[in-house]
Amino acid sequence: MIPRINNILYATDLSENSAYAFRYALNSAEHHDADIHILHVLETRLFPVSPPAEEGTGNLYEGPLLVGKLEKLNDERKGLAKEKIRKRLEQFCEQELKDKPEGMKRVASIQVVEGDPAGTILKIAEESKADLVIMGTHSKGRLAHAFLGSVAESVLNRIKIPVFIIPLPGKTDIGFSEAKKP
């Protein structure tokens, strides 16, 4: 017997065509009478904290004080980025569901979390008790894949629940540009 699907984790990188994968998540949620939990992961490496070390910059205490100020600014920057992305995801949902407003009831949560994308997707899938993960992927070609790896592949290698990997269409196929407008 196939287990019931109650919670779907839709992991998005907010790429231009991620609406295509969202439509799969919405269709699955409607078909299974399930909730959708939307997740975007801010990669930790995008927010460096400490300044480059410079010899002979003067006061010995200036370095630790500067790092403390940078950490505070960095935390503020992360908070602003998370809120901006969260609002963008809300606008995205409204745009995608403008002809189907009842679909908004399916969106149980929108999270913007900092961390390693694959590891965070796995963690949030477990925390949200997801029965299914849906995510889009970009074809990067053999050479890029060999060197860069893939979030989708990393998730697939470690997850214990079904995952739908949706190949995203090219730029001109299905747009996400309307959701980006303020």
Report pLDDT digits (tens) over 31-40.
999 999 999 9
Least confident of 28-42, 108-122, 136-150: 136-150
Provide the residue type at 41 as one letter. Answer: V
| Mean pLDDT (whole number) for 6-33 | 92
What backbone torsions phi and psi does residue 11 show, to the nearest 5 degrees?
-95, 125
Which strand (E) or helix (H) includes residue 155?
helix 151-158
Task: Show me where the domains of the chain are located.
Answer: 7-180
CATH fold of 7-180 reads Rossmann fold (3.40.50)
For residue 46, give the DSSP letter. Answer: G
* Residue 48 confidence class, pLDDT cut points 50, 70, 90: low
Secondary structure (H, E, C), 121-150: HHHHHHHCCCCEEEEEECCCHHHHHHHHCC
Distance of CA 136 to the CA centre of its chain: 10
Distance CA 141, CA 44 (A): 25
Q: Give residue-wise pLDDT tens across range 143-177.
A: 444 433 488 889 999 999 999 998 877 654 444 44
pTM of the model: 0.76
Distance CA 11, CA 118 (A): 10
Which strand (E) or helix (H) includes residue 40?
strand 35-43
The DSSP line for 160-182 is SS-EEEEEPPPTTTS--HHHH--
